[in-house]
Structures are given as structure tokens and as C-alpha cells.
Chain A
């Protein structure tokens, strides 16, 4: 009985019920209306309305809208905080909670679960690719699985970015929470139904075959699978999460910093979070518009991207290339959303383990903004082969190559920080160094793609696959894991198992090098992207088998991390307050932090990264009134 009561107190359970109920309501509504209006049933319309209702149902039932709905009718509600009444403390992690640390953990755990789902899909189609010919996947199911892999991994990355930003930023700037705690919860709880829509797209209505980019005409022609529509709507609704989260973060940083924390004295990760949010709250709108246009074209036959229209009067038709512009105007900048927080983590951790000041703090801070800004000017480098206007090519090539400057600033800063430092190699530091090595591979292969003559050959080849996996592993996955290990004692009060951490690292890093370089090699030798088969005459069978092998190794190593994280939380509590000797405020107080982060407010009185500078202080408690 009690178990049942607890189960039905969980927001996540209600979110799922709400999603199902919303979907059913939407479905029947459309059927009823169409039947009443004597229209033939339309699966497409039913699906769209059901999906929209399902997201709303999920939000409504989970309870994340409750306070706002009360406000609408003039009822004031205090902000709920602390452990839930009469329920075990752990239940708050499965329900709507307004504490930024709880929400950060929710994001993080969801991110890892989604990462595993995406990883399993990758392993499935890697097995298919281990040998030439058709093994156990049909071409259609191969298409669905690689498409789902792509977008699910992106969802995972966005959730992981949400985890780091939510958990770390308020803590680092000395705020007791985000500026809008309810909006913060909303950002998380709308990501759940969105992810479910995307995953549902794999099984409902024949999956989809457009890849994560969803280009028309493939995504809009008659007979394109219904799953496409679910993927597009899931993508669309996830945008709400990005926009709301980013606005929240920007306001938080603008007005809630501790006394004395001027912009140049913020932890460097906060700069990365700002740059990320600037991209998220603007660019997301254009891809949202593009997804809405695709939806209206599919359901209502609006011809945005349909070039075939003609009524003999000279009226203009649509244009599929337009979609690509709208899509990449978001999707290039969003790759910096993926990597900027991770690069911030690298800059944050290196000084701690090198016992030296961060080299060129201001330049690193500005380079994040620089990357974000230049990132808006390069989108068409994804379209060199797609038939866009020729005049656009050279400017976009030049702008693309410009990105190397701020990125280079970061690399030099990292090298300068390690140089001559007293470096130690705990697991987080290993992952930081791994991240740098992997991101270097990604960074060096990018300009080759950004240069038109070489891109004409490499576009849509496995070289591109190698390139972006290196950037995303180096810019997100490795730093994310570093962050997890690094803040694990802060979050749980326990120390992770160092041995397992090192095993994880030494499996994953060489595994990744092998995978990435292998992908680039088969790419140069003629392997195309997004296809289930290849010609054995290309001579790439052996490398393909190696790639699959390394994918398996990476997969196992991640499972070791998860095992480590779970079992370590059952060990004895660590005594050390500050195991890494960090100067950051959160490490000056015992772990885990209390509900509102600090028992006493602190003030900033020095530079954040003056490691090894005698007598330097970063933060100290604000003297209480009357002291």
C-alpha cells in the first residue's frame, strides 16, 4: 500500500500518465471533429494534435504548471523547498522540485539514461556495419536507427549541458538558487515529453529516415513515414527547454552574484554558461520556426519548401534550400552549445590539478563569447554542396576559418596553464587531458571541411562523422565525465573509486582515438555517411571491424563509470572537505551543500585562479551584522 502511495506521489509517474492521457485526448478530439465535419480521417493531423496534447498533458499532470495556474487566478503560492512531507527524501528527485541542485541531478541522470539509449542504438548499427552486406537490419530500419541515434545523443548532450549549468552556476556565484526556480523546473519537465516523442517516432508509423537534420523534401514528401513528424515535434518542444533555461541562467548571472564577484572574477565556467545561453535563447527560435514550417507543410500543405508548385500565374513556389539555411542557422551555433560548457570545465579544472593560475583568464572568457558570436556567421559551411547561391561560398568559408582563432586561444591557454605546473593525474584530470587530445583531433579536421575544395570531396563521407564525433566527445563527453568525477564528492559526500575511474579512462580514451581515426580513414577511402552497406572492394572492412570494436569498448567503459557512481555512494563518507585543494567557494564548505548552498553568504576578495600565489584569497565569509 505504502509503496503504491509513494509510486503515485512521483511526478515522473504522473508525467507519463499525463502524456498518455493527453495523446489519447488529442487523438479522439481530432477524430471527433473530422467525423463531425464529414472529413476523411487523417493520421497526420491526429498525430500532430495528439503529440501537442501529450506534451501539455505531461506538464499538467507532473505538476510543474500548478503554481503558475494558481497565479493566473490570483492565488499566491510560496516556493516549496526541502524534503517532501511524509515521503522518503529520494522521491524529490522523481518529482517536480524547484531546487537547482535537485534539478541539476535530474538533468544529469536523465542525460546519462538517454546517452545509454543512444549508445545502444549506435552499437546496433555499428554491428550492422562490421561487415559489408545486409546483416540483420533492413535499409529502412538502419535509417531509423542512425537518425534516432543522432537526435537522441543531441538530446542527451543538451540535458547534460543543463545538468552542469544548473548545478554549478548558482553554487559558483554564491546564489541560493536560480532566478526563476519554477521556470527552471519547467525547462526540465518539458524535455521529458519531448524526448519521449522522439523515441516514440522510432516505433510509431515506420520510424523516419531523414537523419537528425530532417531536410525536405525527404521529410515532407507524401508517404514520408509518420515517425518523421514525431521527431520534428519532439525537436520543437525541446526548444522550449533550451530557451527557458537560457533566459533563466542569464538573469541569474546578471543579478544574483555574490558580493564582490565582478564579471572578471567569476569562475570561468560561468563565462562559458553565459556564451552557451546567448546562443540557446536566440538561435533556437529559427530552428523552431523551421520545424513548424515542416509540420504545416506536412499537415496543412503549406508550400514553404515545395518547389513544384505552379498555378500558371507566375506565383512563387517554395524552396527546400531555405530549410537548410534556417536549420543550420541554429544547428551550427548549437554545436557550440554542446562544447562551450565542456571547454569551460576544462579551463576550470586544469588550474586545480596544475596548481597554477589559469593562463590568460580574460582571453579565455572572451574567447567563449567570440566563438558564440562567430558561430552565428558560418552556418552555410554545411551547404557547400547543396546548390545554394555561389556568392555565399567564399564568405562562409572565411568566416568558418575565423572560428579557429578563439578556439586556438583556448588551446594556448590550456597549454600555458599546464606548462611548468605541478600536475597530478586524478581521474578528473585524466578526462580533462583526454578531452584536450580528442578535441584537438576534432579541431584540426574542421578547417579541412570548412575549406571548399576539400569539403566538396569529404562532404557526406565518414570523414565528417569522424570530425564531429571528435568535437563532441572532446567538447562534451570527456569534460562531462570529468565534471561528474570532480564534483561527485561535492554532490554525494562520498569519494568515487579512483581505480575504476582510471580503468574507465584508459579504456575509453584509446578506444575513442581508434574509433575516430578509423572513421576518418574509411571516409577518405570512400565510405559514405548514413548508409547500411559498403563495397568490400574499398578495402575498408578491417577498419570497419575495428571501429565497431572500439565502439564496444567505449560502451563498456561507460558502464564501468555508472557502476562506480552507484557503488561509491554506498561507501563511507569522505572526511576531506576539499579533496582537490580547489579555491572555488563550493569547496570551502562541507559536502553535500545544504538546501540553499551556503550557511553564510560569502564575498569575493581576490582572483579566482591564483593557485600557488602566496597569501591570495578568493572568497571569504561575509562578516555577519554586528560582528
Chain B
């Protein structure tokens, strides 16, 4: 960090009886926001890694029998949603508002579909089974605890991500973002990709690694 990084823009300072206030420019605020968000992401890594460690400590080289088709489907849905999120962000950067809003909407719908897959079917809220194995219950020892714990924490993040998307969508419709100024969209996108990447780790760890125990 050089001295230039803390350069004061005189035009944006004001001094009065309160002293000398440095009123940050949009770019300075953006920089602070970006740093803050990335630090938050790093912080959350410790949460997710802790959960992964718990998985390996308790399950070791085993795993419960889960529906492979469903797991693959939810994962694909989430990955595709990230593509539409990128599309939305690029669109707003190019000032294409319709494409931006539509892409956001698609992202939102795919996010909801992911939740329906994991929380609805995999958790058995609908009581529907696909394969011939029973649904996992939360009280099924370490299998239940870890599976519901990991998917639950992840689902909470997906829900908060959906909330952000909704907010950005509503503000976007009102014209709250411009080509140059759309930190809200950027933040929402970073968060969504982040949640997505976490699932990219969770999916193999829950569904693929280890030998299934019947």
C-alpha cells in the first residue's frame, strides 16, 4: 500500500467546525466496499472449511446413499444460474437494462429451483423418494447431522443470495444502476458466485467421495 493509495482528493474534502471531513468519492467508496466484501468472503471460508472438516472427521471414507441424479441436477442448475448472473452483470455494464433484468430473473428462478431440489426433495419436505433407498433423516447420527448441517448452512446462504437478487432486481427496474455505477449488482454477483463455488466443493464432498453405506 503506497502513499498514493491514500491520496486526498481536495475537491471532495470539506472543513468546518467539525474539523476536516474527508468525503469519499464514488471510486473510493467502491474500493472500500470491494475490499470489505472480499474480506467477508475470506471470513466465510473458515465457516465452510470448518463444516468440511467436520464431514471428514465424522464420515471418514464413507457416505450415505443419496440420490445421484438429484445431486447432479441441483448442481447443474446452480452452475447455470451463475452464468446468467455473469450475463446480468455484463449487461448492466453495457447499459442493456432489459437483458440485465431478464438475466437476473432467470438467475433467481434457477436459485429457487436449486432450493426446491435440495430442501424440497433431498430433505424430504415433499415426502417423495426417487431411488429405492430411504430418505436421510436429520437424526440419523453423523450422516444426518452433517448432511443437514452442510446443506442447511448452504441453503441459508442461497436464501440470502436470492433476497439480494430480488432487491437488485427491484432497484434495477426503478433505474437504480448505471453503466458506471452498479456496485449493488457487482456485490450481489460476487456473493452469488461465491455461494455457487461453495457448492462446487460441497457437492463432491457430500455426494461423491467415499463408499456409500447402506
Contacts and interface: CB of A to CB of B under 8 A. Distances in A.
A and B interact physically: yes
Interface in B170-189: 170-171, 174, 176
Contact of B62 (A73, A282, A283, A316): A316
B77 to A, nearest CB: 26
A260 B152 CA distance: 48
A326 interface: yes
Interface in B30-69: 31-32, 35-36, 39-40, 42-44, 46-47, 50-51, 54, 57-60, 62, 64
A315 interface: yes
Contacts of A260: 3
A133 B31 CA distance: 62
B178 to A, nearest CB: 13
Given A257-B6, A315-B213, A601-B20, A302 B145 contact: yes
For this complex, into which size category does the number of interface residues on chain A fall?
A: 35 or more
Interface stretch (A84-92, A120-128, A172-180, A418-426): A172-180
B49 to A, nearest CB: 8
A303 interface: yes
B28 interface: yes
B17 interface: yes
Contact of B32 (A251, A284, A594): A251
A283 B49 CA distance: 11
Contact of B145 (A81, A179, A296, A329): A296
A74 B175 CA distance: 10
B22 interface: yes
A264 B76 CA distance: 49
Contacts of A288: 47
A285 B58 contact: no
A297 B6 CA distance: 48
B151 to A, nearest CB: 12
B142 interface: yes
A312 B186 CA distance: 50
Contact of A282 (B19, B42, B144, B213): B42
A412 interface: no
Contacts of B6: 255-259, 261
Contacts of A322: 54, 57-58
A313 B65 CA distance: 12
Contact of B18 (A258, A290, A314, A594): A594
For this complex, into which size category does the number of interface residues on chain B fall?
A: 35 or more
Question: Looking at A82, A262, A284, A303, which has the most chain B CB atoms within 10 Å of its CB?
Answer: A303
A243 interface: yes
B35 A251 contact: yes
B88 interface: no
B5 interface: yes
Contact of B138 (A292, A300, A319): A300
A593 B58 CA distance: 55
Nearest to A262: B3
Query: Which secondary structure dominates chain B's binding surface?
Result: helix
A307 to B, nearest CB: 10
Interface string A585-627: 0000000011111111100000000000000000000100100
A250 B19 CA distance: 24
Interface string A279-298: 00111111011101100110
Given A251-B39, A282-B42, A318 B58 contact: yes
A282 B46 contact: yes
Contact of A285 (B44, B138, B140, B174): B44
A263 B1 contact: yes
A61 to B, nearest CB: 21
A281 B138 CA distance: 30
B148 interface: yes
Interface in A243-280: 243, 247-248, 250-251, 254-263
Contacts of B125: none
Interface stretch (B7-15, B95-103, B108-116, B196-204): B7-15
A247 B3 contact: no
B18 A596 contact: yes
B138 A302 contact: yes
Given A259-B7, A322-B54, A598-B20, A74 B149 contact: no
Contacts of A301: 138-139
Contacts of B54: 289, 293, 304, 322, 326
A285 B5 contact: no
B205 interface: no
B159 interface: no
B127 interface: no
Contacts of B17: 594
A595 B16 CA distance: 10
18 contacts: A72-B167, A74-B176, A81-B21, A175-B22, A176-B20, A176-B21, A243-B43, A250-B35, A250-B39, A254-B1, A285-B44, A288-B47, A293-B145, A301-B139, A316-B59, A594-B19, A599-B15, A601-B8
Q: Which 9 A-B pairs have the closest CB atoms?
A: A594-B19, A595-B18, A309-B141, A285-B46, A596-B19, A302-B145, A285-B47, A316-B142, A596-B21
Given A82-B18, A263-B1, 8 more contacts: A262-B3, A285-B43, A289-B50, A303-B140, A303-B141, A310-B141, A315-B64, A316-B59
